[in-house]
Structures are given as C-alpha cells and as structure tokens.
Amino acid sequence: MKRLIIILFSLTCTVVAFAQQNTKKPHNRYGVALKEVDGVWKAGSSKFNNRTDTIPHFLEPYINPPVYANLNTANVTSKEYVYKAIPNANDKKIRAKAGGYFIFDSPKGQGDGPFPCLVFIHGGAWTNGSPDDQKIVHLGAFLASQGIAVARVAYSKSPDFTIENTLSDLDNAIAFIRQHAKELKVDPNRMGLSGSSAGGHLSSYMGMTRPGFKVIISMCGPQNLVKLFQAEQMSEGRGNLLAYFKAEGNNTVSLEKYSPLFNIPEKDKIPSMLMIHGEWDTSVSFLQSVEMKAALELKGGEVQFYPVKYASHSIFDESLADFRNIVLLIAAYAKEHL
C-alpha cells in the first residue's frame, strides 16, 4: 500500500510538472504576451505599453477557440522521406534520420491526383525550429484535407552551416519531390512555397531565384536583409547570423545577394505572392512587406497583402484571434493560384 501511494504521488507530481511546462503564457487577442503586475495586466514587452490606450481589449487575456473547429481535417496521410544525407547536422532529428527529411501530408480518399503541392519551410531565425511544430502539423493536415499536398521540410541551419547549405538542402528536397512526383501523386508544375519568419524569407528567396514555382506565401518574412541587420532587434545572435549570410563586417553586398527584394525577376517569372504581416511586428518590421509589395507591383507582379491589425511577430500562432482567418486565406490563395 505504501509503495502504491508513493507511485501515485510521483505520477501526480509528473503530471502537474508537465502541465505547468505546457501552460501557455497569457496573451491578448493580438498575440502579444501579457503579464500581471499588482493585479493589473500589462504588455509583456515595454515596446507595446505606450500604444494600448485606444486599442480594444489590448490588455485583456484572450483564449482562442479551437482554430480548426468545424474545419475538415480528415482524409490525410503523413509520411517522412529522407531527401539527402547531412553529415554533422546541428538538428537532433536530422542526425537521428541520418539526413535532411521532409514530412509529406497527402490528400487521402480525394482521387488519384495529381495534387498541387505547397512546400512549407519552417521559421526559427535560421537557427532553430522544426517541421514537427504543432502549428505546421495542423496547417499541413488542413491544407491536405482541402486537396493540397504539403511538404514540411527540415534543413541545416546556423551556426554550423551557411545560407548556401540551407539553399542546397531546399533545392535537394524540391528536386526529390519533383523526381518522385508520380509516387507522391503531385503535379510538379503546380508547386508553391510558404513559410513564416525565417521560413518566409527562405520561401520568398527561393521563389524569386528558382524557376517553376507558381505561388509564394510569406508570413512576416524578412525581404530586405540589409535593413533587417541595421535594426536594433538583430543585436542578439548578430555575429553568427552575419556569418551564416557570409556578411561578416556588415557586408551589404552579401546581404543584398540573399534578400528577396533585390532578386525579383522579370514580370513573367514572378510567382503570385501572398504576404501576411503583423502591423506591430518588433522582430521583422512591417515595412519589410510594404517595401516588397511596392517592388513587386512596380515590376508587374501579382501580389496580395494581408496586414494583421495590432499583431506582433507571432502571426503564425494558433493563439492569435485572427489565425483562423489567416489559415482560410492561405488555403483559398493556394487553391486559386496553384
């Protein structure tokens, strides 16, 4: 009996600790973190506190209803593929897989295809992140349920690799998908790219510099690396990332080389582009997408821009009140343009 009590007590402690670890921090409906000080809610970052007077519900905690409630997420199969060997990867799962991998979310019970394919490149400041992130898993399942195959790609990152390694990985993953299009039941001529934050940058850059993509969907992605690295928010990890972009000593030539803004092709080679960005993004300036939109339109590109009102950098976040609308917009845009 004593032993049983000890076991039950240990189990209870483990469950409580797990629950505490996985309890999300309070946030408002715009995705901004909140903290309680002497019984009063304040924005978690002082950057927001001088802007809250006229914004409805800004200092009120918000719990988002289930994003995918009443949205069909059935009829999907997911399978992992290793597309290349990546020796000495700093990503634990890539090491475990002995190579770069992607997770393929495929429409099930929706005919034999071929289906359009959206390649999703995860974010994480080019240093971390994973295609196994819950938000990406859920989005992949939803899009596949709508008849759009999704490849969620893992790739090598800073500080052990450079942007050229990352781009090579993405090229190899996409080549694998095209080479195995029949097996995957996808149409290699109906492929697009998407990602959030660093993934938004990588999807934009790949779409501008690699032919054959019909769509780019970028969420809060940096488009002008020169301006990004001039901003104060890039102070943390700046040295490693400058090395990653081969821009030690603030080499603006290299930063321009890897900026989507400076690599927009001629009109007939520009993919249709959807940009989604939080108006109050303090990590990647909202003006990055504004500038990119203007540059695309100047060259005759087709672009749609969805500003997320009062939102910070975390727009690809299921806790955001507007996230359901963002998901539906992504699905509608992909269906129309792929």
Are residues 14 and 22 in contact, defined by beta-carbon separation less than 8 angstroms? no
pLDDT tens digit sequence for 220-257: 999 999 999 987 555 556 788 999 999 988 789 999 99
- Of 220 and 11, which is predicted with more confidence? 220
Q: How many residues does the chain have?
A: 338
How far, CA to CA in Å, does 271 sit from each of 53, 155, 177, 220, 264?
A: 40, 23, 19, 18, 10
d(CA 292, CA 236): 25
Indicate whether 10 pLDDT > 60: no
**What's the pLDDT score for residue 6?**
37
Where residue 115 falls among pLDDT bands split at 50, 70, 90? Answer: very high
Residue 253 buriedness (CB in 10 A; 0-12 / 13-18 / 19+): exposed
Indicate whether 5 pLDDT > 50: no
Where residue 181 falls among pLDDT bands split at 50, 70, 90? Answer: very high
**Sign of the alpha-carbon dihedral angle for 306, 308, 314, 320:** negative
Phi-psi region of 198 (alpha: psi -120 to 50; beta: other; left: phi over 0): alpha
**What's the pLDDT score for residue 269?**
96
pLDDT tens digit sequence for 199-222: 999 999 999 999 999 999 999 999
**What's the pLDDT score for residue 34?**
87
Span 260-289, average pLDDT: 96
- What value does the mean pLDDT of the chain take? 87
Indicate whether 130 pLDDT > 60: yes
Q: Which of 233, 254, 177, 182 is nearest to 210 (CA)?
A: 177
Phi, psi angle pair for 165, to nearest 5°: -65, -45
- Of 233 and 315, which is predicted with more confidence? 315
- Of 59 and 259, which is predicted with more confidence? 259
Span 110-136, average pLDDT: 94
> Looking at domain 76-337, does it have CATH number 3.40.50.300?
no
Are residues 119 and 177 in contact, defined by beta-carbon separation less than 8 angstroms? yes
DSSP state of 149: E
Highest average pLDDT, of 26-40, 55-69, 320-334, comes from 320-334
- Of 33 and 227, which is predicted with more confidence? 227
Ordered by start, the domain boundaries in the chain are: 25-63, 76-337
d(CA 200, CA 204): 6
| Residue corresponding to tokens 């295809």 | 113
If one counts every other C-beta atom within 10 angstroms of the C-beta of residue 53, the result is 8
Are residues 215 and 271 in contact, defined by beta-carbon separation less than 8 angstroms? yes
Indicate whether 129 pLDDT > 50: yes
Indicate whether 20 pLDDT > 50: no
Where residue 44 falls among pLDDT bands split at 50, 70, 90? Answer: confident
Span 47-73, average pLDDT: 76
Where residue 64 falls among pLDDT bands split at 50, 70, 90? Answer: confident
